[in-house]
């Protein structure tokens, strides 16, 4: 089977099946073999690995994964691509193609069936409009996985690895960095895709932590605080949190908690580290409990 990372081979298979790109699925197929090699290298794929590929498209990256991994489970939402995948992946006996929506599948069940419950590695060229729901869904559902390597919009990749006090730092930065160590592996220009997207892309590798880097009493409550802080990011933290009415916490509770942590009351959420949000969350969570003692 011809390598699909070469543009003429991609064009040939698309013409053969008279395939039409679906805007609703955010389809942009990679046509650059050097980028494919960098994705594989960043994902650290080896023969012992079971890889979950989200959105295989016509099988371009799937071919590369199949040659290096022990097994590949490829989940594709577009029914029109299944006959193409049956042809392009025919030489690979270690690939299973599943037609379905990754957001609706039980990934824990997939891991149990195909990886024997061992951590999988996720590789994907994701539609940009559902990047965050897919990545956070994988983390929040405690799916057994050791890492996620994805092609995303360049700006999203920058937000994922942003540090406190920078313009890109926000709720997504904190959410990703609670679960994983992010690292941008490659920047990818629009001409590496067919059709060309209007924005630049980046490959980011998220190395999953065995244990989160901070301890927090109530994970859900901490992320409620973080979202409130960044929903009104130009406001000082006490005003932003009080305005969002976070689980019955008062402005006085917030200012008192900041004093305990020796954090200025004039600070904005964008200046706080993950560690500081965790400590603030623990104090405020106790204020919100029946005895109300922080």
What the block records as the tokens of 245 is 């009415």
Highest mean pLDDT among 126-130, 232-236, 269-273: 269-273
Token pair 């956070």: residue: 136
- Which residues partner with 148 through β-bridges? 122, 206
Contact 128, 152 (CB under 8 A): yes
Query: How far is the C-alpha of 217 from the C-alpha of 225, rounded, in Å?
Result: 13
pLDDT at position 293 over 80:
no
Per-domain residue ranges of the chain? 7-208, 219-287
**Residue 171, pLDDT score:** 95
Q: What is the CATH number of domain 219-287?
A: 1.10.8.100
Each residue's pLDDT tens digit, 86-110: 999 999 999 999 999 998 999 889 9
Quote the distance between the C-alpha of residue 177 and its chain's center.
11
Q: Does domain 7-208 have CATH number 3.90.1150.10?
A: no
Across 175-181, average pLDDT = 97
How big is the CA angle at 141 (ends 110 and 72), to the nearest 5 degrees?
Answer: 30
Say whether 66 sits in a helix, a strand or coil: helix
Beta strands in the chain (DSSP E): 29-30, 50-54, 71-76, 95-99, 120-125, 145-153, 180-188, 193-194, 201-208
Q: How confident is the model at residue 130 (pLDDT cuts 50, 70, 90)?
A: confident
């Amino acid at each position: 089977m011809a390598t699909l990372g070469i543009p003429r081979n991609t064009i040939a298979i698309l013409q053969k099946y008279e395939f039409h790109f679906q805007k609703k699925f955010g389809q942009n197929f990679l046509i650059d073999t050097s980028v494919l090699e960098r994705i594989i290298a960043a994902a650290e794929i080896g023969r012992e690995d079971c890889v979950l590929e989200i959105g295989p498209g016509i099988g371009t990256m799937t071919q590369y994964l199949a040659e290096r991994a022990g097994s590949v489970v490829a989940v594709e939402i577009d029914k029109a691509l299944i006959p193409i995948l049956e042809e392009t992946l025919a030489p690979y006996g270690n690939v299973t193609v599943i037609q379905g929506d990754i957001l609706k599948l039980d990934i824990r069940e997939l891991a149990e069936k195909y990886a024997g419950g061992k951590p999988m590695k996720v590789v994907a060229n994701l539609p940009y409009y559902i990047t965050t729901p897919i990545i956070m869904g994988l983390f929040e559902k405690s799916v057994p996985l050791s890492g996620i390597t994805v092609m995303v919009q360049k700006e999203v990749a920058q937000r994922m690895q942003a540090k406190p006090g920078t313009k890109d730092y926000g709720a997504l930065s904190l959410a990703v960095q609670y679960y994983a160590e992010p690292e941008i592996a490659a920047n990818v220009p629009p001409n590496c895709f067919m059709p060309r997207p209007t924005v630049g892309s980046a490959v980011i590798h998220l190395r999953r932590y065995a244990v989160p880097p901070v301890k927090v009493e109530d994970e859900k409550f901490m992320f409620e605080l973080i979202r409130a802080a960044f929903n009104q990011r130009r406001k000082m933290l006490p005003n932003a949190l009080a305005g969002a009415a976070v689980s019955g916490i008062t402005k006085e509770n917030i200012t008192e908690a900041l004093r305990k942590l020796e954090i200025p009351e004039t600070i904005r959420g964008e200046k706080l580290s993950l560690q500081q949000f965790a400590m603030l969350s623990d104090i405020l969570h106790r204020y919100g409990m029946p005895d109300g003692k922080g």
